[in-house]
């Protein structure tokens, strides 16, 4: 090869080094004069809002069901007295239970609204309402077992009382999970 052109090894290697063009956006700090960079935080989870809406819907159903129970209380008492059973505790509880459930449902709905607004106190308010509902449900199961024991027979009264206890615990466990799951899944989103 007889020198047809310049060799790449003859010229010195030159590399152009330019600083990367980064663009900072923000407001200069009054203390240092430097530009503070923008920090994007993560979005809040939608889970508390969804569970809050579900709690409000359940509370509306609870209020409507309890109002129906108040309207039907006289028919229930007349049915018990016609079949030969009567007790003061049954009469008192037939009117008291729906009122307690209306109050509990309203408090649970308020907890749902607070949960929708990402408030952590909603969980404690909701669990308090649920615990009152558990006590009310257990008393109702006992009173219903007495009422069915007087109208049908004692064994059937005990069976219906046991079914009432089971459904009390099952339904209130579901409502408790409805309140607690947003705290377990995304605790950093609740204030």
Q: How confident is the model over 64-77, as pLDDT tens digits? A: 999 999 998 888 77
Would you say the C-alpha torsion 149, 152, 156, 160 has a positive or negative sign? negative
**Residues in CB range of 96: below 8 A, 6 or more apart:** none
Label residue 33 left, alpha or beta by phi (over 0 means left) and psi (-120 to 50 means alpha).
left
pLDDT in tens, 127-186: 999 999 999 999 999 988 888 777 777 888 888 889 999 999 999 999 899 889 988 888
| Per-residue confidence (pLDDT) for residue 3, from 0 to 100 | 59
Return contacts of 87-92, CB within 8 angstroms, 24+ apart.
87/146, 87/147, 87/150, 89/143, 89/146, 90/143, 90/146, 90/147
Tell me the mean pLDDT in the region 19-39.
57
pTM of the predicted structure, to 2 decimals:
0.73
pLDDT band at 26 (very low <50, low <70, confident <90, very high): low
Q: Which residues pair with 35 in a beta bridge?
A: 28
pLDDT band at 10 (very low <50, low <70, confident <90, very high): low
| 115's tokens | 């949960």
């Amino acid at each position: 090869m007889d020198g047809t052109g310049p060799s790449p090894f003859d010229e010195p290697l030159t590399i152009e080094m330019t600083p990367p063009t980064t663009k900072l956006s923000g407001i200069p700090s009054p203390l240092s004069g430097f530009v503070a960079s923008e920090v994007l935080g993560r979005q809040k989870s939608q889970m508390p809002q969804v569970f809050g809406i579900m709690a409000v819907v359940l509370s509306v159903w609870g209020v409507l069901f309890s109002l129906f129970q108040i309207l039907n209380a006289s028919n229930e008492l007349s049915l018990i007295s016609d079949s030969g059973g009567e007790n003061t505790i049954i009469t008192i509880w037939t009117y008291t239970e729906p009122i307690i459930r209306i109050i509990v449902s309203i408090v649970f709905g308020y907890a749902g609204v607070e949960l929708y607004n990402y408030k952590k106190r909603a969980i404690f308010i909701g669990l308090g309402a649920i615990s009152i509902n558990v006590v009310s449900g257990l008393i109702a199961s006992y009173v219903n077992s007495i009422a069915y024991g007087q109208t049908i027979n004692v064994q059937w009264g005990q069976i219906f009382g046991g079914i009432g206890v089971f459904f009390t615990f099952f339904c209130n466990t579901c409502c408790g999970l409805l309140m607690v799951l947003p705290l377990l899944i995304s605790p950093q989103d609740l204030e």
